[in-house]
Chains A and B, each alone.
Chain A
C-alpha cells in the first residue's frame, strides 16, 4: 500500500469544485479523500464525493467533488491511497 497527495488547491467560499485525475490503472484499488490545510476550528470545512469513469479497458478516471462548507475560501489537499 502507498499513500500520497495528488493535488493541492483552493475552493471558494460555499462553492463546489470538481477535479479529475486520469490514467489510473484499473487494477489498482484506489481510495480518495480530501483534507483542508488551513486551520479553522469549530465546524467541518470540507465535504467530498468521488465518482468514477472507466476511461478505457485498463484505465480509470476519478472525479472528485469538493464542497466548501464555510463562508471563506478553503485550501485543501486531495489525498489517495493505493491499497494493493
Chain B
C-alpha cells in the first residue's frame, strides 16, 4: 500500500523507452482487473490492482515489464528520463515507512483550512481570476474546448518546478521527489472519488531554473518567475502561454483534460492557489504552516478548483448559493450557511473526505441506481397528454414506464412514448406523452428507473 489513501497501487516498470507501459496497462486492464492511475513517461506507471490480481497483471504484461519490482538497479535508473525517475522515486517514497509515519502525524489533520492559527488558508479563485492585466497576446480566445470541464477519464498534468538563482530558491533531490510523491498521493485520492472509474493522471515533469531575482514587491509575483519558466519551455508570457502549454499537453498525452501545476520557492500572493476552471495551479514547497506533509491535500483542494469546485471554508466568503461546476450546483456545504457548518470536505478542511456537493461540482457521474414515481396525473378519455421532467444528469441511464392507476379490466388502457431533449451539456429533459386508449378518464403514474451511468 502506497500512501494513506486506502488504494492498493503497484508500480509497473518497463525497460524500453518506446514500450509504452501505460498503453499496455490499458490494453490488459479488464483481463487483469487493473486500472492505470499514473503514467510518468513511457516506462513508469502506477496501477490500481487488487492485491490478489497482481500476479495476473504481471502475466498479462510483456515479459520485460515488471510489476512491483523488488529492486530497481542503478543502471536501469540511469536510463530513465527526469519524469520517469521522479515518478519512480515518488512511488518508492510513498511506499516507505517514514512516509506512512509522516502521514499519520500530519500537522493540523482535520482542521478547516481557515482554522489553523499557524497557517493561512490556501488561496481561492479570486486571485486566479484577477491576474495582472494581460498583454494583448495573452488573449485566451483561441481556446477551442475547455481544459478541465469535469474530473473524469484522463488528465494530463504539466508539473513544473521553478527554481531561482539562489540556493534558497532551489529544490534538492529529496524535495523534488517529495513534490512528486505528494501530488501523486493527492491525485490518487481525488481521482479515486470518481464513482465509476478512477481518474488516470498523465504527468509531464520539468525542472526549470530561471535567473530572475526574487522580488516580494513585484507587481505580479507570479509572472516574475512563471513567464521565464514558460519561455524556457517554448511558450509565451501570461496565462495564454500556460493555456497553450496545457493544450499541447492534452494533445501529446492523448488525455481528456489538462492543466499546469507550478511549484516554487519564489514569493507568491498565496502559498497555494488555482484558477477556477484552470489552466494553472501554484504552490509553495513549504506549504505555509501546513507543511510539506500536507502538500497532497492542498494539491487535491487546488485541483478541485481547477475542475470548478468552490471553497467551502468561512473566510473564503462562500455562500450556499451560486451555480458551480459541471452541473451548476450551489455551494451547499459552505461553512457559513450549511446546517451545523456543513460536513468535512477537502474543499473545506485538511481531510480525506468529500461532501455531497463537491462530486457535482467536479462533474462526477451522479447516478445511484434507484426506482421511483416522478409524477401522477389524469388523461381524459381518448386523448393524449404530454408531461416533461427536467434536470436529469446526462450520464444517467434512465428508462420510463407508465401504468394506469384507474382500475378497468378487459383491455389496454394507456400507451406512452418518450421523447428526449438535451437541455444542456450536463442535463436531459424527458417528454412523456401518455395516450388514453379508453372512453373514460384514466389516472396514471409515470415511473422511472435509474440504471447506472456511463
Contacts and interface: CB of A to CB of B under 8 A. Distances in A.
B422 A38 contact: yes
B103 to A, nearest CB: 36
A47 B419 contact: yes
Contact of A35 (B369, B388, B420): B420
Looking at A35, A38, A79, the one whose CB has the most chain B CB atoms below 10 A away is: A35
Given A79-B454, A81-B397, A81-B451, A1 B369 contact: yes
A43 interface: yes
A19 interface: no
Interface stretch (B60-68, B168-176, B345-353, B424-432): B424-432
Interface stretch (A2-10, A20-28, A56-64): A2-10
B134 interface: no
A83 B392 CA distance: 21
Contacts of A69: 419
Nearest to B369: A1
B76 interface: no
Interface string B406-438: 000000000001111111110011010000000
B140 interface: no
Contact of B397 (A3, A37, A39): A3
Contact of A41 (B417, B419, B420, B421): B421
A3 to B, nearest CB: 4
A4 B452 CA distance: 9
Nearest to A34: B420
Nearest to A81: B451
Contacts of A39: 422-425
A43 B421 contact: yes
Interface in A42-78: 42-48, 69
B399 A45 contact: no
B397 A33 contact: yes
Contacts, number: 67
A39 B425 CA distance: 6
Contacts of B388: 44
B357 interface: no
A5 B454 contact: yes
Interface residues of B, number: 22
A18 interface: no
Contact of B420 (A2, A36, A42): A36
Nearest to A31: B399
B288 to A, nearest CB: 42
A40 B417 contact: no
A4 B417 CA distance: 22
A81 B101 CA distance: 46
A62 to B, nearest CB: 14
Nearest to B420: A46
A41 B423 contact: yes
Interface string B369-413: 100000000000000000010000010011100000000000000
Looking at B397, B418, B423, the one whose CB has the most chain A CB atoms below 10 A away is: B397
A37 B427 CA distance: 10
Interface string B10-28: 0000000000000000000
A46 B425 contact: no
11 contacts: A2-B452, A33-B420, A35-B428, A36-B420, A38-B422, A39-B424, A41-B423, A44-B431, A46-B421, A47-B420, A81-B397
Given A38-B422, A45-B422, 10 more contacts: A5-B454, A31-B451, A33-B397, A33-B420, A36-B420, A37-B422, A39-B422, A41-B429, A45-B419, A45-B421
Which 4 A-B pairs have CB atoms at the shortest separation, nearest pair first? Answer: A44-B419, A36-B422, A3-B452, A44-B431
